[in-house]
Amino acid sequence: MQTDKKDKQQIVGNYSGTFNQQVVSGKVTGNIAPYLPRKISNHTPISAREHPRLIFRQNQLAELPEKANTPIGKAILARLENLTG
């Protein structure tokens, strides 16, 4: 992509290349905004040595037996048992 750097708050340029074996090209514009992370309610940051793509977090493990005994939990477990044989 080639850009025009007249305005430091906006990207203006052109692109060209291939997609699905088709030649594509066109204009592109975009606004440059600073990254401002927002706080998420009830979010717990990952702990040391905790992998960010786990299905269950360490602090959720104690709740799993209780959740497994709910109607939804029982349906999920039945489906998993059916799928895994």
Q: d(Cα 76, Cα 68) in Å, to the nearest integer? A: 8
Q: d(Cα 63, Cα 65) in Å, to the nearest integer? A: 6
pLDDT value of residue 58: 83
Per the DSSP assignment, residues forming a β-bridge with 16 are 25
Domain chopping of the chain, boundaries: 2-31, 52-85
Residue 44 — pLDDT band, cuts 50, 70, 90? confident
45 or 82, greater pLDDT: 82
Q: pTM of the prediction?
A: 0.40
pLDDT digits (tens, 9 = 90+) for 11-33: 888 999 999 999 999 999 888 88
- How much is the mean pLDDT over the chain? 86
Q: Contacts for 25-30 with beta carbons within 8 Å, 24 or more apart?
A: 28/1
Does residue 47 have a pLDDT over 70?
yes
First-to-last C-alpha distance (Å) of the chain: 51
